[in-house]
């Protein structure tokens, strides 16, 4: 049987990085993946330019940008491998990048550059790489360590790293493998759910907006009760089935089924005051006045729902204008659901952090580690999920 010091299952962001680092520490590493192509999620990430980290990550308070049952769990790994360290690696490999928005760093060229960099790091560590290679049963004994059945034969190793990610985008190789292995070894799993995902809407309340697909605008978006309210200021996009864009992807990670969203379409403007001021000076139709704050297609959708608003603003009743101001500044609508794993950028939930060491990512099962998205640590949109993949891989590799 083929003996290795470490077997890493999953050659995505976390697995590739961990395998390279472990190999460079002198360990004999086998990296396995069932996919035909390597690191597909890095390739498609950031619109093909990989938003590979975020400069604004505050390592003293990572819970600001990460979600999970224990939001403090990620602090140790993130503070020992920072965005600056990954940026230095990217620079050593001569990859040009730029900052786009709120600290988000993207490659100037294709995201394949990040994959090539990780592969070069694996080559420097002498990592053995089997792909595509399906993985079957895994058995463990205190004397022999892990015995892993693979399409290319059985392998043995005292340490096993699971880096198989979450359930998002099953069409490019996502599987529940990591959760099954956790369950096999008696570890708890926080129920997975799609996150950073477009939200769907239906029924009568949505009808007036169904024709707005393609419309984008900046909004403030909120969900949750007063105590645990989350608010984002980002762009919103109307789609054929509902809402998307950064504002909705971010809020989706916090949204609970059945709860409403509250949107402000004119953040920073006192719309009630602006409308009553317009009533004094203007004879334009209300829909035309509204176009000063929101795109005219959206203004038309609102005005079209209420006969009292289909008239010049100077003829409008104060109550009708107050109702309209409320709708612009505090529009409440309840999603019917999400677009699911087919469209979700990440999977929230995962291997329960109560059963993992925050220092090493080793589980309660000796020699079994979980890194990256398979763990119950989910980042915001904007490079945070890759930074968690790099940092958890690094913490694990140091401990192997």
- Nearest-approach distance from CB 318 to ligand FDA, in angstroms: 47
Asked if 372 is part of the footprint of ligand FDA (rule: CB under 6 A), the reply reads yes
Question: Any residues with CB less than 8 A from the CB of 315 and at least 6 apart, and which?
Answer: none
The H or E element that residue 16 is part of is helix 13-24
Asked if 234 is part of the footprint of ligand FDA (rule: CB under 6 A), the reply reads no
- Nearest-approach distance from CB 288 to ligand FDA, in angstroms: 39
Task: Name the residue number minimizing CB distance to ligand FDA.
Answer: 12
Q: Which is nearer to ligand FDA, 169 or 309 (CB)?
A: 169
- Nearest-approach distance from CB 91 to ligand FDA, in angstroms: 18
Locate all alpha helices (DSSP H) within 227-379, ordered by sequence: 245-252, 271-281, 286-290, 296-303, 318-329
- Nearest-approach distance from CB 42 to ligand FDA, in angstroms: 6
Q: Could you tell me if 223 and 253 are in contact, meaning their C-beta atoms sit under 8 angstroms apart?
A: no
Binding flags for ligand FDA, 323-362, as an x/- string (CB under 6 A): ----------------------xx----------------
- For 293, other C-beta atoms within 10 Å of its C-beta total 17
Cα gap 80→204, rounded to integer Å: 51
Q: Which is nearer to ligand FDA, 4 or 302 (CB)?
A: 4
- For 240, other C-beta atoms within 10 Å of its C-beta total 10
- Nearest-approach distance from CB 394 to ligand FDA, in angstroms: 13
φ/ψ (deg, to 5) at 378: -130, 125
Q: Which is nearer to ligand FDA, 121 or 345 (CB)?
A: 345
Asked if 10 is part of the footprint of ligand FDA (rule: CB under 6 A), the reply reads yes
Q: Could you tell me if 24 and 125 are in contact, meaning their C-beta atoms sit under 8 angstroms apart?
A: yes
Stretch that binds ligand FDA, among 28-36, 71-79, 214-222, 297-305 (CB under 6 A): 28-36
Asked if 396 is part of the footprint of ligand FDA (rule: CB under 6 A), the reply reads no
- According to DSSP, residue 204 is labeled G
Residues 122-181 touching ligand FDA, rule: CB under 6 A, are 135, 163-165, 168-169, 173, 175, 177
Q: Which is nearer to ligand FDA, 198 or 287 (CB)?
A: 198
- Nearest-approach distance from CB 49 to ligand FDA, in angstroms: 8
Cα gap 219→262, rounded to integer Å: 10
- Nearest-approach distance from CB 305 to ligand FDA, in angstroms: 35
Residues 32-71 touching ligand FDA, rule: CB under 6 A, are 32-35, 41, 44-46, 50-51
Cα gap 4→29, rounded to integer Å: 6
Asked if 389 is part of the footprint of ligand FDA (rule: CB under 6 A), the reply reads yes
Size of the site for ligand FDA (CB under 6 A): 36
Q: Rounded to the nearest 10 degrees, how much is the dihedral formed by the CA atoms of 381, 252, 205, 229?
A: -110
Partners of 129 in the β-ladder? 31
Q: Where are the beta strands (DSSP E) in 152-272?
A: 153-157, 159-162, 189-195, 199-200, 216-223, 230-238, 242-244, 261-264
Q: Which residues bind ligand FDA (CB under 6 A)?
A: 9-15, 32-35, 41, 44-46, 50-51, 135, 163-165, 168-169, 173, 175, 177, 345-346, 372-374, 383-386, 389
């Amino acid at each position: 049987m083929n003996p290795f010091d470490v077997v890493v299952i999953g050659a995505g962001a976390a697995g590739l990085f961990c395998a390279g680092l472990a190999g460079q520490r002198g360990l004999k590493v086998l990296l396995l993946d069932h996919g035909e192509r390597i690191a597909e999620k890095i390739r498609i990430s950031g619109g093909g330019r990989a938003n590979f980290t975020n400069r604004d990550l505050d390592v003293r308070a990572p819970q600001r940008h990460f979600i999970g049952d224990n939001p403090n769990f990620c602090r140790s790994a993130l503070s020992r491998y920072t965005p600056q360290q990954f940026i230095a690696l990217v620079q050593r490999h001569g990859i040009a990048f730029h900052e786009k928005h709120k600290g988000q760093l993207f490659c100037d060229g294709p995201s394949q550059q990040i994959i090539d960099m990780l592969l070069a790091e694996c080559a420097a560590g002498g990592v053995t790489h089997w792909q595509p290679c399906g993985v079957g049963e895994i058995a463990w004994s205190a004397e022999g360590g892990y015995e892993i059945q693979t399409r290319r034969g059985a392998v043995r190793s005292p340490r096993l790293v699971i880096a198989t990610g979450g359930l998002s985008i099953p069409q490019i190789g996502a599987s529940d493998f990591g959760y099954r292995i956790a369950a096999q070894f008696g570890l708890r799993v926080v129920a997975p759910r799609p996150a950073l995902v477009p939200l769907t809407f239906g029924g009568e309340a949505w009808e007036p907006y169904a024709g707005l697909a393609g419309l984008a605008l900046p909004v403030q978006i909120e969900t949750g009760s007063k105590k645990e309210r989350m608010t984002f200021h980002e762009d919103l996009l109307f789609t054929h089935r509902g809402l998307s864009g950064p504002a909705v992807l971010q809020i989706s990670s916090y949204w609970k089924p059945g709860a409403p969203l509250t949107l402000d379409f004119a953040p920073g403007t006192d719309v009630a005051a602006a409308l009553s001021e317009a009533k004094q000076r203007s004879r334009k139709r209300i829909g035309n006045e509204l176009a000063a704050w929101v795109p005219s297609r959206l203004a038309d959708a609102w005005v079209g729902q209420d006969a009292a608003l289909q008239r010049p603003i100077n003829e409008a009743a104060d109550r009708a204008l107050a109702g309209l101001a409320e709708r612009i500044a505090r529009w409440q609508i309840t999603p019917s659901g999400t677009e699911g794993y087919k469209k979700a950028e990440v999977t929230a939930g995962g291997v329960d952090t109560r059963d993992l060491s925050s220092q090493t990512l080793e589980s309660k099962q000796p020699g079994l580690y979980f890194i990256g998205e398979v763990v119950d640590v989910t980042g915001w949109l904007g490079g945070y999920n890759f930074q968690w993949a790099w940092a958890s891989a690094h913490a694990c590799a140091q401990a192997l």
